[in-house]
Amino acid sequence: MNNEKRNKIIVIVIIASIIVFTGFQYYSTALLLTKLEEERNGKGYVSDEVWYVSSARNILEKVFHIRPVLPSNRYGASIIYDGELDWKALERLASKYNISIVDNSYSEIKAFYIESGNQENIQDFINELKNQVKIKDVVYGWRIPDAANIDHYLNLEHPPLGKYLIALSILVFSDYPLYWRIPSIITGMLIVLFTFIVLFKLSKNYLLAIIGCLFTAVDPIMRALSSIALLDIYVALFTILSLYFAISKKHKEALLSALIGSGFKFNTLFVLVPLFLLYIRDKLKENNSIVNFIYYTTRYFLLTVIGFIFIQSIISIPLITHLGFNSWFNQAVIGSIRWHTSVKCTGAGCPISSAPWDWFIGNNGFVLYYLNNNKKLVALGFWPLWSIALSYSIILSPAYRFDKKYAYSWLFLIGVFTGYLLLWIIGGRTQYSFYSVQFAPLVYVFLMLTTTYIVADKAKISRILHEWCALYWVVWSAFLEILLVRKEDNRKTYI
């Protein structure tokens, strides 16, 4: 066995070990959150799982007509009623059918939650209960959270792919907090793997790629978002996938990755900024005429719009069938645009929002969960390294002109950041720090490449300083020229 083959085997073993370690730490966090909620007699949801898991369950039951079940061959049902209940009579009725009333602590919605080992007993219990009180709805599976109208909520302000995945996990493994989070755990592991692949493809350096993917694996925001059932971890996956295809010169695949990612959450589309610039750059290398620029710009725009509409329509067919086209369009398209570009919640009772730059300096972190001993699970990356990455992206920006490794990672980091910045400018001021998980793989790809191939290279640093000096003299000369023109105009006016 030659050295090259032996090295590859060693690298494969190391990467496999990192992936296993990654999956273990994400699973451990998901399990910890599940146990803490059980110990506190909570409802099992962490942060915005209230909305995403509930909508996934509603889609599973109301759209696909599949009733979720609990682990260990048990069945659960959240009963939403109208009017007043005689709780003693309810307990007697539950005892008659061997049913446990597990949770009745609801204030935002009139509901209580029951469990039984027999599904028919639950149905018989509900049928007899209808004689005592008006039952508005029944949601089968794990208990619903305490939120008004949660039994009808479909989360239409976001595309449905993420909810479909959560619903699939509920269907395959059963409806239980730990199992909601399995797709996120797997997605986090894939992000770590593709971070390694992207870094190696750009650098051809195994050690650099291993260190970069390890940093990504242990980053606090990766651990947090890979351990709960939110949508943003899928955005991060399709962002790093788009970068992989972009550096492989597969523009169509990169665009397709971005468009599929937008089926989870629309902010994946921010990667279209760097993708478009890379596509146009490659096409203009062939022919840099203005006609060529207009042609390929128009072509890319049309492909993007058509592809986006097609994918969103296909994945929304079940919802359109369930709601009707007009209702779906008003809620999922018009309502979504209004929701994303507006200030959603302000005041003392609202979660803390942040500006895009806050994510890089550790400011205004979104608290996902309060752990033991006053510890909090906060959606922030390891901000000292993130702040260095953002600083590098500004100070060392001239390097994009002469270093290809730097250029790809810089363009994606700045491009996605620009997308969030534009959203903030046009009115989307209530952005939350858990959105920033999209940057996690980009930050470490950029940081590893920049530190190794730019910061450690005196010649490149010297060239960057020269570029900044040249820019400074251009700006200073233009400023002086403006002053001289104004002075001359004033003199003529005086004369």
* 336-369 pLDDT tens trace: 777 767 666 666 677 888 999 999 999 999 999 9
* One domain, residues 90 and 191: no
* pLDDT value, residue 485: 66
Residue 337: domain span: 182-454
The pLDDT mean for the chain works out to 91
What stretches of 204-289 show up as alpha helix (H) in DSSP?
Answer: 206-218, 220-225, 232-247, 251-261, 272-286
Evaluate whether residue 430 is within a structural domain. Answer: yes
Mean pLDDT of 184-201: 97
| pLDDT, tens digit, 9 for 90 and up, residues 400-458 | 888 888 899 999 999 999 999 998 888 777 889 999 999 999 999 999 999 999 988 88
Residue 495 predicted with pLDDT over 60 = no
> Would 363 be classed as within a structural domain?
yes
Mind listing the pLDDT tens digit for each residue in 456-485?
A: 888 889 998 988 898 888 888 887 777 776
For 255-284, write each residue's pLDDT tens digit.
999 999 999 999 999 999 999 999 888 888
Query: Which pLDDT band, with edges at 50, 70 and 90, does 486 fall under?
Result: low
d(CA 194, CA 200): 10
The per-residue pLDDT for 404 is 85
In a domain, 176, yes or no: no
Instruction: Encode 386-417: b = buried (16+ Cβ within 10 Å), e = exposed.
Output: bbbbbebbeebebbbeebebbbbbbbbbbbbb
Q: How many CB atoms lie within 10 A of CB 327?
A: 13
Q: For 4-36, what is each residue's pLDDT tens digit? A: 788 889 999 999 999 999 999 999 999 999 999
Q: Is the pLDDT of residue 488 over 80?
A: no
| Phi and psi, residue 102, nearest 5° | -85, -35
Burial of 348 (0-12, 13-18, 19+ CB in 10 A): exposed
Question: Are 137 and 190 in a shared domain?
Answer: no
d(CA 347, CA 367): 16
| Residue 492 scores a pLDDT above 70 | no
Quick check: is 31 in a domain?
no
pLDDT band at residue 3 under the 50/70/90 scheme: confident
Answer whether residue 232 is part of any domain.
Answer: yes
| pLDDT tens-place string over residues 196-221 | 999 999 999 999 999 999 999 999 99
CA atoms within 13 A on the CB side of 107: 0
Q: The domain that contains 117 carries what CATH number?
A: 3.30.70.250
Per-residue pLDDT at 258 = 96
H or E stretch covering 180: helix 177-180
pLDDT at position 7 is 84
Whether pLDDT at 494 is above 60: no
Residue 330 has pLDDT above 90, yes or no: no
Provide the percentage of residues in the chain whose pLDDT is more than 90. 72
Domain end (from 140, 167, 194): 167
Residue pLDDT, tens place only, 292-327: 888 888 999 999 999 999 999 999 999 999 989 888
State the pLDDT at residue 493.
57
Same domain, 143 and 216: no
Beta bridge partners of 378: 367
Helical pair 206-218 and 182-203, crossing angle rounded to 10 deg: 150
Q: Are residues 196 and 312 in the same domain?
A: yes
Sole residue written with tokens 């204030």: 107
Q: Is the dihedral of CA 376, 380, 383, 385 positive or negative?
A: positive
Whole-number pLDDT of residue 210: 96
Residues 361 and 465 in one domain: no
Q: Say whether both 468 and 347 belong to one domain.
A: no
Round to whole Å and give the CA distance between 383 and 334.
36
Same domain? For 200 and 77 the reply is no
Determine, yes or no, domain membership for 122. yes
Task: Say if residue 334 is in the same domain as residue 211.
Answer: yes
Q: Give pLDDT, residue 374.
A: 81
Q: pLDDT of 125-163, one tens digit each?
A: 999 999 889 999 999 999 999 999 999 999 999 999 999
* Position 17 in a domain: no
Do 353 and 386 lie in a common domain? yes
Q: What total of structural domains would you count in the chain?
A: 3
What pLDDT shows up at residue 405? 85
Residue 45 lies in a domain: no
Extract the tokens encoding 38: 């059980």
* Residues 79 and 208 occupy one common structural domain: no
Q: Are residues 207 and 138 in the same domain?
A: no
Q: What percent of the chain has pLDDT over 70?
A: 96
User: Are residues 204 and 154 located together in one domain of the fold?
Assistant: no
Q: Is the dihedral of CA 84, 86, 87, 89 positive or negative?
A: negative
- Which pLDDT score, from 0 to 100, does residue 262 have? 93
